[in-house]
Amino acid sequence: ALVSMKEMMIKGKKEGYAIGQFNLNNLEFTQAILQAAEEEQSPVILGVSEGAARYMGGFTTVVHMVKGLMHDYKTTVPVAIHLDHGSSFEKCKEAIEAGFTSVMIDASTKPLEENIRITKSVVEYAHERGVSVEAELGVVGGQEDDVIADGVIYADPAECKELVDKTGIDCLAPALGSVHGPYQGEPNLGFEEMEVISKQSDLPLVLHGGTGIPTKDIKRAISLGSAKINVNTESQITGTQAVRDTLNADSEVYDPRKYLTPMRDAIKKTVIGKMREFGSSGKA
């Protein structure tokens, strides 16, 4: 069923596992992620960046595609359609009007007072409609579509407390050393801050930049209150590798289904691996 991500995250934080947010790029990504979730009997969050929504046609296209697949696949597990890194109140509103069940408002580049003001307005609009809200503080490194950072800034626990108390968000993404895209060397996650932030607010935390984080760090983050982990790049890498291998092995192939089926299968395998690592398998 299509739901907000509130209940699944509360349950995850309480029971000590995380739900994966897997980003969509097209039909095959959506198929792969929904198939993985059903097979694993795992709740799942479909992440849609503004850039990816633009690529696919728009928010409405995405919602209809997801609903169509859930109908045809007879999906039984909880699924949230979540706007990833929403850039403004307007964009969040647009996504909600199109049928998204969850949004992230990323006003993390703004001064704290403004971040609080914008986030609060999104919460008011979203909660009236049963839609969950994620907000961010600090700077996640690297690049994802329109979200480009040069450097990493760790979120400040006192600012996190203020943002949570003043806005009523459902979950918080404190940037604590994670990076969008591949890491250069090992990530250096701020686990001490994570523990403080998680305890002081009792809200589920979100870990962005899930690609390339070692399993021991994933487990530690979950034990310290991270109940949602975002993965995008890793599905793109494994999916594209499968296309490359298929085309390299046969220069005569021209039917897109011949190379997109291996892509879909590779993404599905990646997603299943993450669901098991995050502990969400069997928790639907």
**Where does this chain bind ligand G3H (CB under 6 A)?**
23, 47, 84-85, 144, 180-181, 208-211, 230-234
| CA torsion angle 231 143 215 76 (round to 10) | -10
Q: How far apart are CA 36 and CA 278, in angstroms?
A: 14
Kindly state the smallest distance separating residue 3's Cβ from ligand G3H, in Å: 20
Kindly state the smallest distance separating residue 31's Cβ from ligand G3H, in Å: 19
Residue closer to ligand G3H (CB basis): 41 or 273: 273
DSSP, residue by residue, 154-165: PPPHHHHHHHHH
In a 3-state reduction of DSSP, which class is residue 260?
helix
In a 3-state reduction of DSSP, which class is residue 180?
strand
- Any catalytic annotation for residue 84? yes
Residue closer to ligand G3H (CB basis): 237 or 247: 237
Ramachandran region, residue 22 (left: φ > 0; alpha: ψ -120 to 50; beta: rest): beta
Q: How far apart are CA 255 and CA 247, in angstroms?
A: 11
Among Zn ion, ligand G3H, none, what binds residue 283 when CB lies within 5 to 8 Å by partner kind? none
The interface mask with Zn ion, positions 170-209, x = CB under 5 A, is --------------------------------------x-
A 10 A CB-CB count for 250 gives 11
Q: What is the largest CA-CA distance in the chain?
A: 60
* Residue 228 is a binding residue for Zn ion (CB under 5 A): no
Among ligand G3H, Zn ion, none, what binds residue 31 when CB lies within 5 to 8 Å by partner kind? none
Q: How far apart are CA 228 and CA 82, in angstroms?
A: 12
Sign for the CA dihedral angle at 210, 216, 219, 222 comes to negative
Residue closer to Zn ion (CB basis): 82 or 208: 208
Among residues 84, 106, 170, 217, the one annotated as catalytic is 84
Among ligand G3H, Zn ion, none, what binds residue 20 when CB lies within 5 to 8 Å by partner kind? none
Among Zn ion, ligand G3H, none, what binds residue 181 when CB lies within 5 to 8 Å by partner kind? ligand G3H
Kindly state the smallest distance separating residue 19's Cβ from Zn ion, in Å: 15
**Could you list the residues that contact Zn ion (CB under 5 A)?**
208
Q: Which residues are catalytic?
A: 84
